[in-house]
Structure 1
């Protein structure tokens, strides 16, 4: 079973985080929510408190297949430990996904130079050196997946499911959600 982590910080976009967790779990991916704060309870951008599965400091990244960064706030770009792990995943050619404002983390690390990417409108300036595909819901370039924003979360999450569990599992989950 593939393993993924999705990171929550104060102000995260609830739809992007929780719908992605839901879809991946429906597809039998072992996905854990990780608090980037000092508390397991993290409050999203619409004042919805969510209890994360684990704190960042308690994660062993060695058996993880994918890192997922939801948007909603630029605060995700302030966590140095997360940026260190994202960079390590990129160097190890492991899957990284970011949606909405979160591709700014990848852009700031130089991971989008020469790659196609999308983001929430207005965040293009943070995607240093990227080949912008800002009208696309989801853009895949190698091991990097970027998504445009909250209304396109199902597209984003189903693409991540396909990467982690295969096309057949994606189709099965999409059908169950009445998306296919």
Structure 2
């Protein structure tokens, strides 16, 4: 069974959404890898924070995927969406029934690829129109089928905990929330 969760970063990613999610997934004991879509070891976020990647996107193989995670931020989302390899990995994950998660502006990538057809989804205000085929909702975090979408950086912990719950169950998500003294919404 594939075990890896891949969090994809591109220049201009939203740091809170990326780092907060990575941190909680790793606290849950989930093998979580930071992946850059560029062929460089570092990627810089929208607010100037540089992050060391674990892997380049060319080192990610569909057979190893348990979940794909896309943080928001601009121009990070635009840069992610320009990666044909990321699109390929996303399509493979959908075909294999893997978990796909995106927060803030990033759910728009799944929408533009036509993958949210008939699913409930949320995104940063103003990006709902790019959730093509989805049933937009005002909820801050939504799980619909194998997709988890979240509205903004303010909901990063809820987003990460939803991913943990989807992969490892509610008890594990509650354990991680309790360890950081976080009240789940």
Written as runs of structure 1 = structure 2, the 5 A alignment for 1:13-28 is 13-28=14-29
- Mind listing any 5+ residue stretches in structure 2 that lack a counterpart? none
The equivalent residue for 2:171 is 168
Q: Could you tell me which residue of structure 2 aligns to residue 131 of structure 1?
A: 135
Taking only aligned residues, the RMSD between alpha carbons, in angstroms, comes to 1.1
Give the CA deviation at 1:166.
Answer: 1.5
Say which of 131, 143, 154 aligns to 1:140: 143
How many residues align structurally?
179
Q: Does 1:159 align with 2:150?
A: no
Aligned to 1:44: 45
Q: Answer yes or no: is 1:118 the counterpart of 2:122.
A: yes
> Could you list the per-position Cα deviations for residues 58-102 of structure 1 after superposition, in whole angstroms to 9, with x for gaps in the alignment?
122212210000000222111111011101111111110011111
Aligned position for 2:61: 60
3-state secondary structure, aligned to 1:66: strand
Q: For residues 65 and 96 of structure 1, what CA distance do their matches in structure 2 show? A: 9
Instruction: After the TM superposition, list the runs of 4 or more consecutive aligned residues in structure 1 that deviate by more than 4 angstroms.
Output: none
Unaligned runs of 5+ in 1: none
Q: 1:170 to 1:176 in 2, by over 3 A?
A: same
